[in-house]
A and B are shown apart, each in its own frame.
Chain A
Amino acid sequence: MKNKTFADKTFADKTIAYLTKGTLGFSIISIFLGFIIGAIILAIAGFNPIQAYGVMISGVISRPSYIAWTIIGSTPIIITALSIAFAFKTGLFNIGAEGQFIIGGITAAIVGYFVELPSFLHIPLVLLAAMTAAGLWGGIAGFLKAKFGVHEVISTIMLNWIALYLNNYIVLIEGFRRATSQRTHEIQRTANIVILEQWKRSPEGREWLRGHDFFGDALRTPLNWGFVIAIILAIIVWYTLNKTTLGYELKAVGYNRHAAEYGGINVSRSMFTSMVISGALAGAAGGLHVMGISKSIASLAAMEGFGFNGIAVALIGGNSSLGIIFSGLLFSALQYGGSKIQPALGAPSEVIHIMIGAIVFFIAMPKLIKYILHNIKKKRGAKNAG
């Protein structure tokens, strides 16, 4: 049957085969389609799409500081996407990256503020503490799934809310809260990972930066080491999943838990381990966010969306480490570039949101398109066989 379909391969079949082969082709087509839809909506709303895209693109790449902001914005969502992709590859859908991000942030704020150590110890300590706490937080969902069969989607959604309210509770504790505000005290300088933070605020630093356009512009942003750590984490995730026994076991459970169990893999332990690692990754994102951008945590009215955006980023990146780095950058560029259309053209922000939504929607389409194409193929196959 298979050979027969293969034999009368037409142009359409070839196209389908090419498109279904990898997610890369799909992603590029989807991004292209998304931009077209965005353009149509902009045109309907009475704005010149080419001009709008011009503003967006130049708003992202035309100055070193714009590129820096894009990188800064991509850092947390790349890491939460890694967290989600890791769980996904091992058969778990970790909606809880949002909550684990919050737990990582809380821990980083506490360890960053109350502990006093030299930088080279303080930074790793804060990061490790954030990862450990969030890993355990994710582990709760893993434990519940392994022990009692509680679906991780349900438990992690609930844990998200618990994390949110825990955050709001901790922010208000006297001694940690900054007086008359809804924020905590800033973390110690030794836990700060902003590049040259001290120097660029000093008179000499400012003087030097004024004379050097490129660095002066780039460093006026809170550019930090988080992106480098994100890339290191991406490599670790790729290595763990593809080159280690642990990764093999976790993936085997993801593909088919019964087969994995038959093969002698401890399924319960694998699920727990997978959620712990996934949680630790999301926690790293939260910790780095506190160390590099916010410096403190604030009382939250609602989820900030780092974890949820991570789901979209993981989807766009096809759950691969390399793909996620690029899709994270793209997502961040869309958000950042999109925010520049309003001041420049007067386009209401709603148009920007619709546009970003359309792009994300199309980017999410490959799975759907693939599914449809797959079904067409299957039907044809069945007919030919009949």
Chain B
Amino acid sequence: MFKKMLALMLVLLLMATALVGCGGGAAQDPAPEEDQEQVEDQPTEEQIKMAMVTDVGGVNDQSFNESAWNGHKQAEAELGFSVSYVESEQDADYERNLETLLDAGNDLIWGIGFMMTDAILEAAEFNPDQKYAIIDPDFGENVVPENLVGVLFKAEEGSFLVGYIAGKMTETNKVGFVGGMDFPVIHGFHYGFMAGVKHANPDAEVLVQYADSFVDAARGKAIANQMYQQGADIVFHAAGGAGDGVIEAAREQDKYAIGVDEDQNHLAPDHVITSAMKRVDNAIFMVAEMLKDGDYAGGETKVFGLADGGVGIAPTSDKHVPAEILEEVKQVEQEIIAGKIVVPNNKDDYEANY
């Protein structure tokens, strides 16, 4: 009997604490919250609201989405924007989340990643008064609506730079490229990289294979292992999740790999020598600036490259790449910006020049 009463009292105590905890929180908070709300409410008249829908990676994916969110935070800090995001857990969430942000009264809504192309095209069509933008769209044959901006990156330029590094650093005169899927977006990486390698080292050979997947790390690893066995000592990948396998292979075989899209050095600090970065954060900030200045370029696809900081090599490159090579890379970068080097982004251009 005593035990039972004790148990019951403990349960009641637990519930009471829980209730007090809740009540306390509620009682304390309203005053400052209301103030905050007023503060927030006033400037919304002029304050520009910008928000993004992440893809299924979520906002802390150490990749695109996180970089995009950093761009938003920069716009908040430097341009005084009010920013927010909604995370998608499934493909089916995109449309719904875009609508949530529409109802929240944003001035500009971002979709992060090509997987959102269909959803954002539809949203833009149904809500002609709302401004949208999307990173890495795959519009295909669709006409870009007047209230949508596509943001692309000159992947070939960043790939050219890492290709240059690979060409200079290879000891076996053999490097590798692992692509995600054999289509135009990835061809930019492919031929940009090859051109960079040849520019640095005309004798070097480039092994190329496509993984036919952006997710299959096991396949990426198998391909990279094979390349290392064939004598390549540096492999560059543009294969998303499949590329994680490439980096793992480099770590296991103690060879070098080159990351893509973001600084992937953290995946294998001793083996990822550099990364061909897409500066999604910079691109978002630049579009935000345009929006603020009233230059929103609806109906266009903006392409950001080396000249405007849309692509580049990873800041951690100096860990493995000798300083003199990095100096040369800076020169090459200037030459590309000045138009002295024209970087190919498809097979025909590549073959015409190299």
Which A residues have a C-beta under 8 Å from some C-beta of B?
Answer: 12, 33, 36-37, 39-40, 42-44, 47-51, 59, 63, 65, 69, 72-73, 165, 168, 172, 179-182, 220-222, 289, 293-294, 298-302, 304-306, 335-336, 339-340, 342-344, 346, 349, 376, 380
Contact = CB atoms under 8 A, between A and B. Distances in A.
A73 B91 CA distance: 12
B89 A305 contact: yes
A337 B96 CA distance: 11
A43 B181 contact: no
Contact of B100 (A50, A220, A298, A343): A343
Given A221-B99, A301-B241, 9 more contacts: A33-B18, A50-B26, A168-B213, A180-B183, A304-B89, A336-B96, A339-B96, A340-B86, A349-B87
B21 A40 contact: yes
Interface string B124-147: 001000000000001010000000
Contacts of B291: none
A49 B22 contact: yes
A69 B103 CA distance: 14
Given A37-B18, A346-B84, A349-B58, A12 B8 contact: yes
Contacts of B85: 342-343, 349
Given A40-B18, A304-B91, A343-B101, A180 B138 contact: yes
A306 B4 CA distance: 41
Contacts of B15: 33
B270 interface: no
6 contacts: A39-B22, A40-B25, A43-B21, A180-B185, A339-B96, A349-B85
A380 B4 contact: yes
B90 interface: yes
B184 interface: yes
Contacts of A47: 29
Interface string B42-84: 0000000001000010110000000000000000000000001
Nearest to B96: A69
A343 B25 contact: no
* Closest 8 pairs (CB-CB, A-B): A43-B25, A48-B29, A301-B215, A343-B84, A39-B22, A180-B183, A343-B104, A40-B21
B351 interface: no
A342 B60 CA distance: 14
B33 interface: yes
A343 B51 contact: yes
Given A180-B138, A342-B85, A376 B25 contact: no
Of A180, A289, A293, the most chain B CB neighbours within 10 A belong to A180
Interface of B: 3-5, 7-8, 15, 18-19, 21-22, 24-26, 28-30, 33, 51, 56, 58-59, 84-87, 89-93, 95-97, 99-101, 103-104, 114-115, 126, 138, 140, 181, 183-185, 212-216, 241
Given A180-B183, A301-B241, A349-B58, A172 B84 contact: no
B215 A299 contact: yes
Contacts of B3: 376
B99 A39 contact: no
B26 A39 contact: yes
A13 B254 CA distance: 67
A42 B15 CA distance: 17
A223 to B, nearest CB: 12
B127 to A, nearest CB: 9
A287 B213 CA distance: 24
A339 B86 contact: yes
A205 B346 CA distance: 44
Given A39-B25, A349-B59, A376 B7 contact: yes
Contacts of A33: 15, 18
Contacts of B100: 59, 339-340, 343
Contacts of B24: 43
